[in-house]
Every structure is written in structure tokens, then in C-alpha cells.
Chains A and B, each alone.
Chain A
Amino acid sequence: MKKTSNDWRSHFAPGGYGVHLFPEFEKRAKDAATEVFRVKTPQEGADVVLELARSAGARKVVSVTSPLQQAAGIEAACKAAGIEFYGDRDSIAEHAPTADIGISGVEFGIAESGSVCQDVYAIESRLVSTLPPIHIVFLDSNLIVAGISDAFEIIAKVFDRGYVTLITGPSRTADIEVVLTIGVHGPIRLVVIAVDEKP
């Protein structure tokens, strides 16, 4: 899968990130209407996905893969639960416009703003994160940086060409009567599944 960088991890400033920043990240993310689930193991993450799919009545999932998702066995879990699952590029292009859930991985979280940084150079990454009404992302809860400047320090090191988005909550607008309304063009729900254990 095409990426802006295949090695984000080695560009984190030593001591500049860690799970100790997670509570602040979680608070800020929830303030921005993100749903946050912190789990110990990737398998528990898969349980969260299935429960979300069940409660939302989701029948079709499009997903790009990440190490955490692979460890969680998302594809097998969905199929076992009778949910249509599409994971390769062409089928994602075909099904993303009608999928109920898109699943992807993110590189890190930002405590200051409750954002997640996603490398979406690959077209399939963007399709799963833009078109379905629910977007679920897997995050390593150890990879939280403190601030927006720290995030840009990292991006400055890895970014030469590509496509990167900092996502902060679901899509929103206040364009009618200055009333905050969630769910415009992008996803109506953003769900972060933060996994403590390394895959």
C-alpha cells in the first residue's frame, strides 16, 4: 500500500511521546465528538468493532489494513459475524460508496487537540476514511505526542510527497444558524480504538 512514509516510528522524538499522554488525548478527542475505546489487546479491539457493527446494523465493511488490525483478525471476525468485508483496492473502490463502516489505521495521536494523524497517500485509505458514515481507526495508545507542533516536527521529517490528514472528530458544520451539526460530507461517527499491547 502506497504511503507517504513507511517509517513514521523512527521519527518520533525520544521521550516526546508515550501512553502517559493518552488521558489528555482521550479528553480532547471526546470534546471533539470522537468515540474513544481503549483496549488492552488487538483481539479486544476486534470485539469492539463487532459490537459497533451490530449496534449500528452494519452489513458492509471496507477496510485497509494495518499491523494492529491484522493482529486483531478483523477480516475473519467480520466474515464470521456475517458482515460483507472488502479489503483490496479494487473492491474498496467499488464498495466504499455503499459501505456502512470504513476501518483503517493511524500513525499517532495528538494530546493537545485529540487528533489522529493518518497517512492516506493510498487511494484506498482515503476511500475508507471519507465515504462510509462510520470511520473506525486503530491507534497504538503508546504513540501519543503532546502537541500540534510535535506532530508537525514529525511530519516535517517524513513528508516529501503524499497525502496526510490530521483527523479531529467526525465531519461537522455550523453553517445553518451557527448551530453545530455533526455529519456533513465526511463520516458521521469517528471511532478510535486505542490498543495498549503492541502487536
Chain B
Amino acid sequence: MAEQNRNIRKEIKEKMQQEPLQVNLGKFVERYPVLRAAAMENAGDVEALREAIKKMKADTVNRIEEIADRFEAEATKRGVNVFRAANGEEVVRYILELAGRHGAKKVVKSKSMATEEIDLTRHLREHGFQVCESDMGEWIIDLAHHRPSHMVLPAIHLSRFQVSELFSKEMGREIQPDISYMIHSARDYLRKDFLNADIGITGANVGIAETGTIVLVTNEGNARFATTLPRIHVVLMGYEKLVPKITDAGLILRMLPRAATGQLLTSYTTLIGGPTPVMVQREGRWVEETREMHVILLDNNRLKAANDARFKEVYQCIRCGSCLNVCPVYGIVGGHVFGGHTYAGGIGAILTALISGMSDFEKFHELCIGCYRCTEVCPGKIDIPGLIEELRVRAVKEKGLPFITRQLFDNVMANRKVFHSLLRAASVAMKPLASGTNKTLIRHLPLFFSGLAKDRSLPAIAERPFRDRAADVIKRPENPIGRAAFFSGCTMDFVLPDTGESIVKVLQDVGYEVVFPMGQTCCGKPVSAMGDLETTRKIARINLEAFEQVQADVIISGCPTCVETLESYGELLKDDPKWRDTAAAFSAKVREFSSFVAGEYEKQGRMQKTTGGPSVTYHDSCHLKRVLGVYTEPRRLIEAAGCELREMKDPDKCCGMAGVFGLKYTELSMKILGQKMQNIKDTGAEIVACACSGCMVQIQGGLDKQVPNVRMKHVADILAESIERRKNNP
């Protein structure tokens, strides 16, 4: 059972010390991308396949009632009993009545998340049923009284030694911890449960409307047993599994096993349409009868989600678990921490919110760091981080923010002068801010307020912020080709003012006149990420006012998260008649620094590899690569600046910063950062570059403590230095 009052930080600490979980999960997340890539080799155009799945599933949810009616009609026509259950209680009642009619007490189950969701096994046992979980992983966690920690590998958190103990106790003899021996012992031991069962309960991976058919995807063969030996077959299936046609199921099957386990197909892909024959013994003789087949369509708030313009997207999920397998946080803590009652990871947070409600969601949603890695692999192309943000917004709308956060947002974030004077005060004395009543403030303001720094030194607030230096560095070029307004963002303004200077120099070098509107403030991201759109709008208006006065052709930022946020002002203020047009015009002018400069270099014939610079490895900021789609441009600029580019392992894996997350879940953030440090070190490069001020702060902090001989630079710094070199040696 999920804890009522969860202490996530404590849970993280415990899981990080659990050896079997760390070893097994570590092994799996390391191996998964390789397996997946190998399985995709003969899949044809993978992007086209993902697009086709997304489209088919999105079209289906738009007419889910019609598809469900068709499924019901076709299945019923073929002799299946179809029942639509509003919730778990109705499922349990239905099965109890069914079993009662047949005097059935023995149940064999194959793996089904829907049955986990409604605690079916527990309910049936409370009513005196013998229930056998026949999937090996499910059986193991059933013996251990655990919940699944992974959608596909539910017992990944246990070692062979723990399993050996569980098996020995259950089978009443010593089962040596040899994996193959253990599995074969379990095979023999469970066989009687299949042969004696009255009812087989399965889930369904797909439900096909045109023929009322269900599809089961398994590797162990247990679902084939459960649908062959017992005389009653019950299927429990959520509405999201429905598709219109058999060929649509084919589409899913080209992707599901490849994405789940890196298999081309699993050992058994089974289609069952209508009741099938069963052999039963009557007075000592074998006779063939017709198996009863029941399909229960489970709602449990799914239909409500289907009618929600934004959340119907979850119907694009095919339950492969690939989003978990690439998630940097899940890969360390597993599904017991990063998960709710049944479902784990980012998609699990969304499903939990929709199915179990917001209070379960609120306990762990912060573990999604919004790195968007999952969106690169999701077969249904679900915007998992985007949906989580939307849930946060809805939670705030419903319940409001905690009082102190509310005060802080209203009184500090929505008022530039107060906010900036606090930042200045911090440069003089960070300590008073980091103690006592101001702790909450530290947690919710941009992260340079924190004092926790074991493996990472935290950046000092610069003595002179960029805004005080702007006048010194801004020099209008002769015959400028345009006017660029610089949006620094808080980090570049108050922590990395040198990089701010580099940005100005580079823009001037390509021929732009640069202006820095002094009235600018935070982009609003720390506030919108907490779900508070009202304060975000106030912040947006402050910035719009500041930039309206300078009449720029483009608005440049060297922080991808700021870029995204500024680009969203048009949408954010679309219902504000006074600011709507200004906001839209503003957003249309926003450009990300590195891609903008790359474009200019290209136009001016400067995008050529040169030599003479240091060796550099490049870290992809999550948002720059996956949200803004920029990853070749910074690399080419680094080479154009004369540097030798050395790729690191997993250059696009999150550095562990992720805003508030990096502060609140320090151990976890440090572990992710540690992996990044190792990968940087392995390249032997002198410099690590990126094009994101947030990543710079995190990586710089890690370098100081762990790899002091490597320096961190923004692509702008590298370009500015090469311009300097060129000036000195023309």
C-alpha cells in the first residue's frame, strides 16, 4: 500500500542504499538504450511509426464511447460477456457473483496492472479465494508482500538471495540462489495451480473493437495457460487499451516489445476472440466444453480523462515502460519512491493523479525533473513533463499555494525591485537569508539561495551584477545590422555576469546593436513551475513593459528555460485584451542565443572549423536539446571557435539541476551530477561547455569539488574568447 504520509527524502535515502535495487536497476538502465536501439534497427522509420501510433490512439480517444460500444457489440455477438465497471468495487462484485454461480474458488492470474490498480488479489483473498500470481515477477513480489517497482520488471528491486529465501519458505525446501534453478523450480511448483484453477484472470495489452478481440503480450507463457486450462476466463482491461482495428493492434505490436524490453516480439503474442474450447473431466472422462469468457472494461476515472482536452493524451500510452527506463531519477530510486499506488515514473504520476486523485500525485510529482528524456522514446509521443506541469497548475487553481510560498510570490517575485534588492543583499550576506524563517524562501527562489553543498559548491552572488556592468560592455557597432535586446535571466545577471558580457560581445561582433532593458526581471519560470500562472502573468507584464520601450528586432537569451518561458507569453496572456498583442509580438521576437548566432555565422561565412583553441566537451541542456531542438549549432560554433570537440558519454543526460529539485532532493541531484562529472572527466577535455546558465551553475559546482582542473564555460564565453584571440593575432 502507498503510505499515507510519505517522506520522500527519507525514502530516497533508503533506496539509494539498497544494494539489489541499485545493482539491478543500474544494470538495466545501462543496458536498455543499447537493447532498444538494436531492436529498432529493423523497425523501419521509427519516427513515422511513433507518429502513426500517436495519431491512431489520439483518433481513438476522440471517439472512445463509439469504439467501446463497438467492442462490446462485437464481443457480445461472439458470446463474450462484457461488463463495464465504474470502479474496482464493481469489478470485485462482478467476479464474486460469477465465481459464486460456478462454485469457483481457485484463481490463476497473469500479469495485469489494472488488477494491481484495484487490489483485486487482496479483495479476492479476503473472500476466501486461492489466488496464484503466475507471472514470475508478480509471484515474487506477492510472496514478499511488495508492490511492483517497475511496469515490466516488477521485482527488479530484489536480489537472487532474497528471492531464494522467499522460494525456500514457500516451497518448503531449500532453493539454492541459482537463477535458472530457481525459475525452473517455480515452473514445476506453479504448474498445479494452472491445472487446478477454475478461473483464469488476465489483463489485455490491446482490445480490438472491430472483432471484440483481446491481445495478450507475454514472455513466460502464463497468459496462454490462464486462457487455456481454467474453464472461465476473465479479462480486466482499461478503456485506454481499445483500438479500432486488428491492423491497429499490429501497429502497436511493432513497437511495444521493442520499446519495453528490446525484443522484436515477445515469446507469445496472443489474439483471443470469443469463448474458446476447454477440456474438463466429467465422471472420469475428458469432454470438450466452451469456456466462459468475460471482459470487464474498467473506467476508474479513465472516461473523465478521455473527455479532458489536455489529459486525453494519456490514452496514447501503450504501457511499455520506456519512459521509466530512460528517466534519470527513476533509474536511481525506482518505482517505489518515484511512483504512486500502482503506476511509476512520470507517466505514473499522471495516471496516479487521474485515477487515484491529486493527493497521491502531490506526494511524488516533484521527482519529475522535466528533462524531457522520456519524450524522445515514448511510442505514443506523450508530453509527460508538460502534462505534469499542467497538473501542478490545476492543483494550484484548486487549492492555492502554501501560505508562505503565496506570500513570497506576491511580495517578492511579482515585484522586481524587492526581488533584485534581495539578490543584491544576498551578495553581501548570503547567510541571514539561508536561515530561520527564510528557509522557505530559499527553497522557492532561484537556487543560488541555498546553503546545502556537500559535493557541489554553490555559486556566489556576483559582487557586481550584469545590470551594473551593461553600460561598460555595450558599444554600438558602426552600421549595425539590427537591434538585439538582451534578456539575461536572473542567473546570468546575478551569478554569471561574465557570461552576460560574453553574450553582448558576440552579438556586437556579428554586427548587432545590443540593448539591455533595465526594467527586466525573472522570466517567471520558478513561479510557473509551481503552478502559479497568475503571478507568472504579473511577471510577464513587467518584462513586456521593459522591452516595449526599446523597440528591438530580436530578443536574445542565453538560457533555454528563459527562452521557452518568454516564448510562452503570447499564449499566457492571450485572454488579456490590454497585453495580448504586445505579448504575441514579444514572443515572436525571442531567440535562443546559440542557434541565433549560428545562423549569423552561417550567413557571414564564418561557420568553419578552425584550430588553435582548447579541447572542449559539450553538455546538452535538457531543454535546449529536447524542447528547443538545438544541439548541432552549439557544437559547430565550438568548432568554428577553433576548439577541438570531444563528445562525452550521454551528453544529453540531465546534470541534475532542474530548478527546485536540485535543492530539495540534494542526494539525488548529486548522484546524477556525479555521473555527469565522470563522463566529463573521461573525455580529458580542458573545458566543458554548454549553452544554458542553469546547467552551468550545477556543473561548475560539481567541477569545483570533484574535477577542479576542468573549467565550465558558456558557448558565448568560448566565442568571445576566440574573438579576443582573433583581435590579438589578426
Contacts and interface: CB of A to CB of B under 8 A. Distances in A.
Interface of A: 2, 28, 31-32, 89-90, 93-94, 97, 110, 112-115, 121-123, 126-127, 129-130, 147-149, 151-153, 155-156, 159-179, 181, 183-187
Contacts of B249: 152
Interface in B144-158: 153-156, 158
B572 interface: no
A173 B278 CA distance: 27
B84 to A, nearest CB: 21
Nearest to B226: A185
Contact of A130 (B78, B225, B286): B225
Identify the interface centre among B20, B134, B274: most chain A CB within 10 Å of its CB: B274
B137 A165 contact: no
A28 B39 CA distance: 11
Contacts of A179: 179
A109 B256 CA distance: 20
B251 interface: yes
B277 interface: yes
Contact of B278 (A123, A151, A161): A123
A168 B268 CA distance: 6
B221 A130 contact: yes
Nearest to A164: B271
A178 B156 contact: yes
Given A28-B264, A166-B270, 11 more contacts: A113-B264, A113-B265, A129-B224, A149-B251, A152-B250, A159-B211, A160-B78, A172-B219, A175-B155, A185-B194, A185-B222
Contact of A185 (B23, B221, B273): B221
B195 interface: yes
A153 B248 CA distance: 10
Interface in B255-308: 261, 263-274, 276-279, 285-286, 288
Contact of A168 (B153, B180, B247, B264): B264
B140 A167 contact: no
A186 B273 contact: no
A184 B222 contact: yes
A183 B254 CA distance: 24
B273 A161 contact: yes
A130 B224 contact: yes
A179 B267 CA distance: 16
B251 A186 contact: no
A94 B286 CA distance: 8
Given A172-B219, A184-B220, A152 B246 contact: yes
Nearest to B186: A184
Interface string B216-247: 00011110110110000000000000000111
Contacts of A130: 221, 224-225, 228
A114 B264 CA distance: 8
Contacts of B195: 97
B24 interface: yes
B118 interface: no
B721 to A, nearest CB: 46
Contacts of A115: 264-265, 269
B265 A183 contact: no
Interface in B189-209: 190-191, 194-195
B127 to A, nearest CB: 26
Contacts of B263: 32, 168
Interface of B: 20, 23-24, 27-28, 31, 42, 78, 134-137, 140, 153-156, 158-160, 163, 179-180, 182-184, 186-187, 190-191, 194-195, 211, 213, 219-222, 224-225, 227-228, 245-247, 249-251, 253-254, 261, 263-274, 276-279, 285-286, 288
A48 to B, nearest CB: 22
Contact of B274 (A129, A162, A186): A162
Given A113-B265, A126-B224, A152-B247, A163 B271 contact: yes
Contact of B276 (A123, A148, A149): A123
A26 B572 CA distance: 57
A70 to B, nearest CB: 22
Nearest to A31: B264
Contacts of A162: 271-274, 276
Given A176-B182, A185-B222, A112 B264 contact: yes
A176 B276 contact: no
A41 B288 CA distance: 35
Contact of B160 (A122, A123, A165, A176): A176
Query: Closest 3 interchain pairs by CB?
Result: A186-B221, A152-B250, A175-B137
B134 A185 contact: yes
Contacts of B194: 185
Contacts of B42: 112
A123 B140 contact: no
Nearest to B248: A152
B286 A177 contact: no
Contact of B261 (A90, A110, A152, A174): A174
B136 A184 contact: yes
A113 B154 CA distance: 26
Contacts of A110: 265
Contact of B190 (A2, A178, A185): A185
Contacts of A112: 42, 264
B142 to A, nearest CB: 12
A152 B276 CA distance: 21
A32 B228 CA distance: 24
Nearest to A122: B277
A17 B48 CA distance: 24
A180 B159 CA distance: 14
B269 A166 contact: yes
Contacts of B253: 148, 152
A175 B139 CA distance: 10
Contacts of A113: 264-265
Contact of A184 (B187, B211, B245, B271): B187
Contacts of B254: 147-149
A108 to B, nearest CB: 14
Contact of B268 (A94, A165, A175, A181): A165
Contacts of A169: 267
B266 A177 contact: no
A56 B483 CA distance: 82
5 contacts: A160-B273, A167-B267, A173-B219, A176-B136, A185-B134
A87 to B, nearest CB: 14
Nearest to B32: A178
A5 to B, nearest CB: 12
A173 B224 contact: no
A159 B78 CA distance: 12
Contacts of B137: 173, 175
Contact of B140 (A121, A153, A176): A176
B299 to A, nearest CB: 26
Contacts of A2: 277
A164 B228 CA distance: 12
Contacts of A90: 279, 285-286
Given A176-B155, A184-B183, A159 B265 contact: no
Contact of B136 (A32, A149, A175): A175
B213 A159 contact: yes
Contacts of A178: 24, 27-28, 31, 153, 156
Nearest to B154: A175
Given A148-B250, A159-B273, A166-B265, A177 B220 contact: no
A106 B36 CA distance: 29
Contacts of B179: 176-177, 179, 181
